[in-house]
């Protein structure tokens, strides 16, 4: 049976000698995702080795810890619930003042190199307007065309307890569960999810992400092509 989710604790991490960054790939082609990748990176105190994006763009989200994203000599503050966007060809470093580890979750997608990024580099959750979705759910846009990202959309979603009707989207999506517990329902598959679960949903895949807890489930997700996370290609109660 095809898996659509994986717990980050199951992932194999790599850390180059002398680097502060430990990185794991949660979602990629080997997981059935032809376009999007989902990476989990933990930065120990100190300054990381430079990372260059060759033929790919990166949309990152700070889950916990604090630090600085350094791109082209310019510093950008990272703190929990801050998103950032980098384009193909750019090189960046992460400076973590410590003592805590900085956890970043990133979606990676192909992109032709088209010169340096222009516009805002980071977006804070607190500065974004909450918007309603079906089933009493809420989302906030993070990385969009407003920061120069025309091919991807990143959002933070809050899912109330309960199960939404089965539905599908036209876009390809990777999701990281920040908080809560529940079940991902796809046909006869019912995969438990919780904090640290990584999910891939292919275009037009009918699914339902149930929040089986008493409090809200929170996720950060990125999809391609860019658009509205509340849009549906199909919904069971239509």
Structural domain contains residue 11: yes
* Rounded distance between C-alpha atoms, residue 185 and residue 100, angstroms: 35
Tokens of 103: 């956890």
Indicate if 210 and 134 belong to the same structural domain. yes
Strands 91-96 and 46-47, by their bridges, are antiparallel
Domain boundary among 90, 122, 154: 122
CA 96 from centre of chain: 20
Residue 232 has a pLDDT of 72
Same structural domain for residues 63 and 105?
Answer: yes
- 209 shares a domain with 159: yes
- 179 assigned to some structural domain: yes
Sign of CA dihedral 134, 109, 27, 9: negative
| pLDDT tens digits, 85-95 | 999 999 999 99
Q: Are residues 134 and 37 in the same domain?
A: no
pLDDT of 234 higher than 70: no
pLDDT, residue 237, reads 55
Return d(Cα 49, Cα 21) in angstroms, integer. 8
Q: Which domain holds residue 41?
A: 5-122
Sorted by sequence, the CB contacts under 8 Å of residue 85 that are 6+ apart come out as 57, 58, 59, 60, 117, 121, 122, 123, 143, 147, 148, 149
Q: Are residues 48 and 76 in the same domain?
A: yes
Do 204 and 217 share a structural domain? yes
Indicate the residue among 85, 107, 122 that finishes a domain.
Answer: 122
Distance CA 195, CA 189 (A): 19
Quick one: 9 and 118 in the same domain? yes
Distance of CA 147 to the CA centre of its chain: 16
- The answer on 116 and 85 residing in a single domain is yes
Longest Cα pair distance anywhere in the chain, in angstroms? Answer: 55
pTM of structure: 0.95
Q: Is the pLDDT of residue 46 over 90?
A: yes
What span, in angstroms and rounded, lies between the C-alpha atoms of 200 and 52?
25
pLDDT the model gives residue 231:
80
Is 141 a domain residue? yes
**CATH at residue 208:** 2.60.120.10
Q: How far apart are CA 34 and CA 153, in angstroms?
A: 17
> For residue range 120-159, what is the model confidence (pLDDT) as tens digits?
999 999 999 999 887 778 999 999 999 999 999 999 999 9
- Rounded to a whole number of angstroms, the distance between the first and last alpha carbons of the chain is 29
Euclidean distance between CA atoms 135 and 26, whole angstroms: 28
Q: Structure tokens of 106?
A: 């990133």
| Alpha-carbon gap, residue 4 to 130, rounded angstroms | 28
Tokens for 85, please give them.
Answer: 């966007």
- Are residues 31 and 93 part of one domain? yes
Q: Omega into 99 within 30° of 0, i.e. cis?
A: yes
| Domain stops at, among 83, 104, 122 | 122
Shared-domain flag, residues 19 and 87: yes
> Residue 97 contacts by C-beta under 8 Å, 6 or more apart in sequence?
45, 66, 67, 68
Same domain, 172 and 160: yes
User: Are 109 and 140 contained in the same domain?
Assistant: no
How many domains does the structure of the chain reveal? 2
């Amino acid at each position: 049976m095809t898996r659509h989710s994986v717990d980050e604790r199951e992932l194999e991490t790599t850390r180059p000698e002398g680097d502060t960054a430990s990185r794991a790939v949660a979602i990629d082609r080997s997981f059935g995702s032809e376009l999007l990748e989902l990476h989990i990176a933990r930065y120990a105190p100190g300054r990381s080795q430079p990372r260059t994006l060759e033929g790919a763009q990166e949309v990152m989200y700070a889950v916990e810890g604090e630090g600085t994203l350094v791109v082209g000599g310019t510093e950008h503050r990272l703190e929990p619930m801050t998103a950032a966007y980098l384009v193909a060809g750019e090189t960046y470093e992460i400076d973590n003042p410590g003592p805590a580890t900085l956890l970043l979750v990133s979606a990676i997608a192909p992109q032709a190199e088209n010169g340096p990024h222009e516009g805002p580099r980071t977006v804070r959750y607190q500065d974004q307007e909450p918007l309603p979705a079906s089933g009493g759910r809420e989302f906030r846009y993070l990385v969009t065309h407003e920061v120069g990202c025309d091919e991807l959309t990143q959002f933070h979603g809050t899912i109330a307890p309960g199960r939404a009707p089965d539905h599908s989207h036209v876009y390809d999506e990777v999701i990281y569960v920040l908080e809560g517990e529940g079940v991902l329902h796809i046909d006869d598959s019912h995969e438990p999810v919780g904090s640290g679960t990584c999910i891939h949903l292919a275009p037009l895949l009918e699914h339902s992400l149930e929040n089986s807890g008493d409090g809200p489930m929170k996720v950060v997700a990125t999809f391609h092509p860019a658009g509205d996370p509340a849009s549906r290609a199909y919904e069971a109660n239509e």
